[in-house]
Structure 1
């Protein structure tokens, strides 16, 4: 029988023969189940072509024991509910469960964070010709849009994530706004998420800015700095004396879902036809806001409809601006009923797919590209969608990613130092035995690594 294909860094944890997969289309299929630290791999070699079921553990939402009496008195079963809407059922002999602990293995490996382990992405050892962490450069993206200019500046006031810990280090704000005023505006906005520029029209200079809701409260609290800040955003667009504020806070989740594309069209129309700047916000500015701004930008800017541009759009509007991927997807967590879980990014991709169906020639990519993105939203094979914000991504992840490499390098250097010490000691001993000249000296070797 052929061996289970493995990624670099992937290892097999359990293999069970005579497992029955209850396929909804083909009925019961018998084969061998292999569980690794990345995937569940089921294969039947008796069929032509071979039947293979390859499921990344990250896509599993929950694992439950079920009865399997119809497949034998000594059988037991498992139902695997997946985040991509698949439900998988397996049946196997009771003695195999007792011997190998299939249910326990799946529960432990599918939810590593709940079991004190790390996600597979930290153990993945594949070498790629391109550094994926450098696909998106914020300064280059803003320069592509013609920024900075006389009205907008590229600011690093948040370089240490002190202004807003869920915002990127590089943001674009009005040129005339001082850092002190920006701090006051931040205090008036939920989670400190001040209005910052996402996109600027190359001709009219109308802008899309994004933020969180103002903390008005029951007493209609006001903030002069916040009002002045919004006035500055409006004044930056000389072609209009209006500023449209799109409030995406939801009264009904179902209604809001239906309004996504319609809302994005309205934003794009205000920018393109009305030459009017818009401010988009929801409650915290990382869910509905990201959906609306990115969809509107996709409609307005053909660059974002290329493969490279779409990657930059996701990196900018979703990842760097703090969409909470870890919480919304629930990576490695066994609490499938967590209220923080929500298919926000999936809804965005579905809207993009609908646009590609209506205007296929306007996009450089098709649904296969979108499906691949969604596959790895759940797979935990790469680090792209693992964190809740840029600060968490860049301050925590590289430490874990590089720790083993650094330790290996240190061990190698230490070994070289020890070899040099032995070599020097041998030479010194040989010189002493030969009665070397008093003027001859041995250069000391520094041993600190």
Structure 2
């Protein structure tokens, strides 16, 4: 497919750009396969180069105009671009045909569903590449100190992603646990996400993550799953299971075949429920609250008092507070109590990863450096199977 087939109007003069905190720009709009460019071709006037993949939603507001022959006819209009970096840009276009052509072109380009058509596959850097980002943070190097001990090993049980489609091909596992035990545990966890290592604190406490156990109505158990968690703790030690769901949501999940670890089978683990239900379920209200936050941030006409009121009424900071509180609890269990922690919700790919990532940022200074943060994102999000394409392709405008 040629991008030219999707672009009805590749170039248009007389477009007025409205961007936050700057004067309107009257210039030329150019549409390429991956960028929108607005330029006045004048010195000291900043151009707009906007990656089309950074557009979250496109809205059109067409203007009506009077016509002596036909009465009311449709004129040009305003195209509103809501971007993933929270900016809202407006393009004013005078001609009705050009307005509709530009809108449809942007809409088509912003909704391409084939990854191979995205910008990284076309980008050709004008400099020498010093490091290969695909192999910059190998798991073996990230956990080199841990693997030097007698407690942990590298497992290739998921080499072909046959055990768990959302885990990486390389897993850090306790040395006392063989691959068959990992496979059996995977069959007991939703999506095959058996307990895996996220972080080892300097005092030896371990942070694990997984998905919920599949108990079903018959309260099934998995001795192999229990064996993994017992091996992590060691004899006569206690740990914590931080379930990111409320007890009510756990009961609902149990009715659908899921649930949480029974106390009678996981006797060394104390369970704590945290009410991050909306994040666990990717509740549409979270997106609604996020929308309200972005709208407040982009409204430059309101007073400080009014802005603070809109910020509070968005309820976004309530979600932030709940997540930070849970991450601090995990960090305290690891650091102050010296106890190992298992974090999971339902799928183990949403609130779970937020909590384990923030806990590491609290405890591990390296995660607060640029390179350490990159490694954390690679380890806890990319290799942990977070469905970025599903959640960030249209985060503000489309409910999941």
Q: Please give the TM-score of this superposition, normalised by the length of structure 1.
A: 0.65
Task: State the number of aligned residues.
Answer: 319
1:14 maps to: 10
Instruction: After superposition, give the CA deviation of every residue in 1:296-342 in whole Å (9 maximum; x if it has no partner).
Output: 11222222222222211111111111111111111xx7995241xxx
Q: 1:57 deviation in Å?
A: 0.5
Note the residue ranges of structure 2 that are not aligned, 5 or more in a row: 1-6, 68-73, 246-275, 280-314
Q: Distance in 2 between matches of 1:54 and 1:125?
A: 17
Aligned mates of 1:184, 1:270 — CA distance in 2: 28
| Mapped contact 1:39–1:55 kept (Cα < 8 A) | yes
Report the equivalent of 2:133.
Answer: 132
Aligned pair partner of 1:329 in 388, 392, 400: 392
Task: Please list every run of 5 or more consecutive structure 1 residues that lacks an aligned counterpart in the other structure.
Answer: 1-10, 340-449
Q: Secondary structure at the match of 1:279?
A: strand
Q: Deviations over 1:358-378 (max 9, x none)?
A: xxxxxxxxxxxxxxxxxxxxx
Partner of 1:386: none
Identify the match of residue 243 of structure 2 among 236, 243, 247.
247
User: Does structure 2 retain, via aligned residues, the 8 Å contact 1:45–1:51?
Assistant: no
The residue matched to 2:117 in structure 1 has which SS?
A: coil
Judge conservation of contact 1:12–1:36 (CA < 8 Å) in 2: no
Matched residue of 2:168: which SS? coil
Contact 1:35/1:41, CA 8 A, preserved across alignment: yes
How far 1:52 moved relative to its partner?
Answer: 2.5
Aligned equivalent of 1:36:
32
**2 CA distance for matches of 1:214 and 1:310?**
30
Partner of 1:56: 51
Residue pair 1:156, 1:171 contacting (<8 A) in 2 also: yes
**Structure 1 segment 130-279 matched on structure 2, within 5 A:** 130-143=131-144, 145-202=145-202, 204-235=203-234, 241-249=237-245, 250-253=276-279, 256-279=319-342
Larger Rg: 1
Secondary structure of 2:177's counterpart equals coil
Shift of 1:284: 1.0
- Determine the structure 1 residue equivalent to 2:311: none
Are the counterparts in 1 of residues 19 and 88 from structure 2 also a CA contact under 8 Å? no
Indicate the residue corresponding to 1:295 in structure 2.
358
Distance 1:23 1:71 in 2: 29
Mean CA deviation greater in 65-74 or 165-174: 65-74
Structure 1 or 2: more helix by fraction = 1
Distance 1:42-1:272 versus aligned 2 partners, 3 A rule: same
Verify the 8 A CA contact 2:193 2:211 in the aligned structure 1.
Answer: yes
Instruction: Name the SS of the counterpart of 1:136 in structure 2.
Output: coil
**Does the 8 A contact of 2:200 with 2:207 survive in 1?**
yes
SS at match of 2:187: helix
Give 1:105's aligned residue: 105
Contact 1:41 1:52 in 2 (8 A): yes
Q: 1:13 to 1:76 in 2, by over 3 A?
A: closer
Q: Distance in 2 between matches of 1:318 and 1:78?
A: 34
- Offset at 1:251? 3.2
Shift of 1:177: 1.4
| Kept in 2: contact 1:19–1:30 (CA 8 A) | yes
Query: Displacement, 1:192?
Result: 0.3
- The farther-off stretch of 166-175 and 244-253 is 244-253
Give the TM-score of the pair, scaled to structure 2.
Answer: 0.72
In structure 1, the residue matched to 2:88 is 87
* Alpha-carbon RMSD: 3.0
**Are the aligned partners of 1:12 and 1:35 in contact in 2 as well (CA < 8 Å)?**
no
Shift of 1:35: 1.2
Distance 2:200 2:10 in 1: 54
- Distance in 2 separating the partners of 1:71 and 1:319: 54
CA distance in 2, matches of 1:119, 1:23: 25
